Each structure stands twice: as structure tokens, then as C-alpha cells.
Amino acid sequence: MENETVTRNFIEQIIDRDIAEGHCETVCTRFPPEPNGYLHIGHAKSILLNYGLAQEYGGKFNMRFDDTNPTKEKEEFVESIKADIEWFGADWEDRLYFASDYFGKMYEAAVKLIKKGKAYVCDLTPEEIREYRGTLTEPGKNSPYRDRSVEENLQLFENMKNGLYEDGEKVLRAKIDMASPNINMRDPIIYRVAHMSHHRTGDAWCIYPMYDFAHPLEDAFEGVTHSICTLEFEDHRPLYDWVVREMGFEHPPKQIEFAKLYLTNVVTGKRYIKKLVEEDIVDGWDDPRLVSIAALRRRGFTPSSIKKFVELCGVSKSQSSVDYAMLEYCIREDLKMTAPRVMAVLDPVKLVIDNYPEGQTEELEIDNNMENPEMGKRLVPFSRELYVEREDFMVEPPKKYRRLYPGNEVRLMNAYFVTCTGYETDANGRVTVVHCTYDPESRGGNSPDGRKVRGTIHWADAATAICAEVRLYENIIDEEKGVYNADGSLNLNPNSLTVLKNCYVEPSLSGAEKYDRFQFVRNGFFCVDARDSVEDHLVFNRIVSLKSSYRIPVQQ
């Protein structure tokens, strides 16, 4: 039991105590995003943590959109977030909620505060409110409207609801303590006038609750037992607790904060991504160079690889950044035993085997994944004319170059030994065809006389290969210069996307469907693009290269 306690994270230890002490009998968590953009890799930690805790304790997991700010919210974002949650397998069952479901109850809660003398309508301008709030070292001062009567406040608040005031003309503030050392408790605004159409309620409301007022009420209305959130909300917890306490909930939710997940040299800020999208620098919120969950899914990452990544990052109160290479490590580990290994030539040059019979085609039996025999084998056609990678032939090679050059013998992977006998060039001196001869006795890539060759290259049969588009990605940020310029703009990498139009893949990929993943021998792991790939024009995104210097830290 002692060992079990040590291995449990601090949130699990808190929940264990809460159950033991009777704070709750069952556990209910939730994931409450604002539908004002696409979710990113940092949100994955919160999704998996909240859902995982509900599963661990046999409890419930709620999905709720905190849609209290109609200025930035769209139905597009709602649908994208739902797709992300479902992709991770986090099942909210029949508990899909919206903050807007509770606008009527929130209004009633605000009226209740006014009747208790705990809220008042304030006429100060936003600038005056900031001035009256004070600083971290100086207390604030009371608004001149703080002592309005309950009756006057009730009337004014109803007038706000009925649309009698302009945006910003009046706000409803909680009456707490303008001298509090926590600025969040200095009579925070809990309702504002906003003549904006809401994506769900339309024009039914012209006043909207503020997040810090709405959020604890939503949790309490739904019976959430543990409000798991990130550390920036730690200073907001006293206000969260004040709201649910003043509303008299018998079993108020408990807010627990954990450290955010930060990745080095990536863009997660919605403002920056929105700018990249609007300026057509990326082709949408799901551009595979981004780290939105939709982008990672389109690039070819798997839910299990991201879950593994989140597990390796752990749960703590300490803020830290994680190298992107660790995420790449997780997808390599996930795919190396499950992705079929196929041959694809990304920068092709034709190879002609002059002594191979013209018109003959044979089928070679090849392992789908040599590390996983259970994946079986496939037949790959082979004939006189092939495609090989341009970098696999050199007219004048440097020392230790082991691939094709005049007079050298290499192994065609899973096929035959071939010896380069010559080449052809165009008018500019660019090699267009490489000529060779083959040893018919070396079928399968082994010579009966025991001679060894030091180079092995992959290939695609020219007669049956499928022409495809391949997209190679690098970090959208220039890592050597850092994420931001001095003026706050992004340091963009001009080489973040390379599009190769005339690549050739073996015919076994003819039926490849969106999101199918493969290892292209020697080139990396690739995924069929979910947006642009169609039956007669396959498009592959490189998920990750084959090798990395990243190593999982050894636990002491």
C-alpha cells in the first residue's frame, strides 16, 4: 500500500482523501473549453486527465462548453472540439452541456446575490474600474455606486437585461473586499452588457455573465466534485469558492490546479494561429505544421501516442517545458510495430536493368513489418524498369558512399543484386536514367556464392507504381531564432513545408484511405492526408522521420 501511495499523483491523493473524509461519494469531472478556437496539445493533457480520473474512480465525465463570450465563439469551434474529444475516446455519454444552458439560472443567481446585498450595479467606466482596483501593493477603493440599495440594484439589473443601456455603460459587480490582497476579490465584474448575437441563444440576451462567475456555477449545477484546471486559475480559486458558497450549495465542487503542458518552439496562442490562417501562411487550423489536436490528427499522430506523451509528462504543480522531440518519440514508438513498411521513392530517377527479360514481371513476397511477423506478407511487382531515389546514385561518389555508382554493386531491397554499368543525362547534365545488370541467382537479396554487398536501396516498379504527392514538414518556427521576434511577431521557418509532386509508391497503397499510416522505408512515417487526398491523387504527410537523438530520461 505504501508503494501505491507514492506512485499516485497529487490530484489522486486529494481525491482519495476527499472520498475517505466524505467530501464526495462518487467522482464527477469535466472538460470545459471555450469555443473560441481549436484545441491544442496542451488541452490534450486536461482532456485525458479529467476523463482518466473519472474512469479511475468509476465516476462521470461531463463535456461542457463555456460559451459566455459571444464575441469570439463559433459553431465551427464547437464541432471541432467535439471531434477532438471523441478522437481521444473520452465518452461524455449523455452529458453534453453548454454554459448558455444555464443563462436563466445564472441570472437568478445574480439576483440572489443582489438581494443578499452581495452585488451591485456600477456605472464606472472600464478605465475608472481599473483605476479604483488598486495595485498588487496598494488596496483598491470603493466604487461610489457600491452602496446603492437592494431595490435600486434590482431595478438597474433588470434594466440591463431589458436592453436599456449601451455596451459598457453599466456592469454588475460582486461586493466582496476592495482591500483584499487578491485582486480577483476586489469587487469583480460578474455581468456585463453586450448587445451581441450568441451562437446558440441568438438575441435572447444582451447581458452575459463573466467567466469567473459562470464557471463555478456551471460546475455546481452539474454536480462536478473536482474542478481540475491549470495553474493560472489558482488566484481565482477564492472567487470560485465565494460564488458557490454564497449560492449555498451543499456539496460545492473543489478546484484543484495543475501545471500546463508547454512544448518548446511551437505556436499555441489562438491569436497567432488565427493570424497565420487569415494570412494564408497555413491552410487552416488543422495545418499539419501546427500543434492543434486537429492538426496532429491530420498529420498522422495517434490518440495512443499523445496519451503516452501526456503520461510521460506527468502531473505536477511545477511549470516546465517539454521538448517536441519527446512527442515525436512517442509516435515512433507507437507506429514502429503497427505501421506497414512499404517502399516509396520521393525523388525518382529511372533504373533500367538491361539484362532483365523485357516484358517480364514477377512478384516478390515481402514482410509487411519485419519486427512484427503477425502483420504478414504482401506481393510486390518487379520488372525491368524501376524508380530509385536520386540520392542513391552518384557519378563521382565521395569515400564510403555505398550506393549506386559506375561499377558498384548494391542490393535492391528484397529483390536482386545489381551492378551499375552506366547512365544517361539530359542537355543540362542531369542524370535521367541509370543502367545496370542483375544477378538472377541473388533473388530475395542474397547471393548463393556468399559475396556481400554493403549498400541496400529501395525501389518502385515503374510499370505499376502509383504517382503520389508527398509533403515534408519542419517546425513552422525557426528554432535557431526562437518563437518571437523583438516586435512580438513570429519567427517563421521558410522551409516548414516541402511539397514533392511526382513521387512513386508501390501499388499496395492503391486502396489507402484517409488517416492510414505507413512507414516509407528509409524516409519516415507517413499518413494519408485527410483533406486533400482523393482516390486518383494520393497525398501523404510525413508524420515524423525515422531517427531521433531523443532518449527517455532514466528514472533514478
pLDDT at 202 over 90: yes
Give bridge partners of residue 64 from the DSSP assignment.
97
Going 413 to 418 to 424 to 428, the CA torsion angle's sign is: positive
CA distances from 187 to 182, 291, 418, 459 (A): 11, 38, 81, 71
What Rg, from alpha-carbon coordinates, does the chain have?
Answer: 31
The confidence band for 553, taking pLDDT boundaries of 50, 70 and 90, is low
CA distances from 67 to 71, 101, 211 (A): 10, 9, 9
CA distances from 262 to 42, 80, 87, 151 (A): 7, 22, 21, 49
- State the DSSP code for 248: T
Q: Where are the beta strands (DSSP E) in 75-127?
A: 96-98, 119-122
In angstroms, rounded to a whole number, what is the distance separating the alpha carbons of residues 43 and 49? 10
Lowest-confidence segment of 61-70, 317-326, 420-429, 500-509 by average pLDDT: 317-326
In angstroms, rounded to a whole number, what is the distance separating the alpha carbons of residues 547 and 185? 52
In angstroms, rounded to a whole number, what is the distance separating the alpha carbons of residues 411 and 417? 4
What pLDDT, on a 0 to 100 scale, did the predictor assign at position 547? 81
Q: Are 404 and 393 in contact (CB under 8 A)?
A: yes
Cell representation of residue 288: 499539419
Lowest-confidence segment of 84-88, 263-267, 350-354, 433-437 by average pLDDT: 263-267
What pLDDT, on a 0 to 100 scale, did the predictor assign at position 552? 55
CA distances from 547 to 239, 333, 433, 479, 551 (A): 49, 11, 30, 19, 11
Strand, coil or helix: 468? strand
Give bridge partners of residue 526 from the DSSP assignment.
518, 542
What are the tens digits of pLDDT across the range 31-54?
999 999 999 999 999 999 999 999
Give bridge partners of residue 437 from the DSSP assignment.
419
pLDDT at 407 over 70: yes
What pLDDT, on a 0 to 100 scale, did the predictor assign at position 250? 84
What pLDDT, on a 0 to 100 scale, did the predictor assign at position 549? 56
CA distances from 472 to 66, 286, 291, 347, 518 (A): 37, 16, 16, 12, 14
Strand, coil or helix: 531? coil
Give bridge partners of residue 119 from the DSSP assignment.
174
**Percent of the chain residues past pLDDT 90, beyond the cut:** 86
What are the tens digits of pLDDT across the range 149-171?
999 999 999 999 999 999 999 99
Average pLDDT of the residues of the chain: 94
Place of cell 488541452: 43
Average pLDDT over residues 423-442: 96
Cell representation of residue 163: 436592453
What phi and psi values does residue 500 have, to the nearest 5 degrees?
-105, 115
CA distances from 225 to 64, 68, 254, 259, 306 (A): 15, 22, 6, 20, 26
Average pLDDT over residues 345-371: 97
What are the tens digits of pLDDT across the range 247-302?
999 889 999 999 999 898 888 888 889 889 999 999 999 999 999 999 999 999 99
pLDDT at 111 over 90: yes
In angstroms, rounded to a whole number, what is the distance separating the alpha carbons of residues 167 and 169? 6
Average pLDDT over residues 336-345: 97
Average pLDDT over residues 212-233: 97
What pLDDT, on a 0 to 100 scale, did the predictor assign at position 6? 52
What are the tens digits of pLDDT across the range 288-329?
999 999 999 999 999 999 999 999 999 999 888 899 999 999
pLDDT at 5 over 50: no
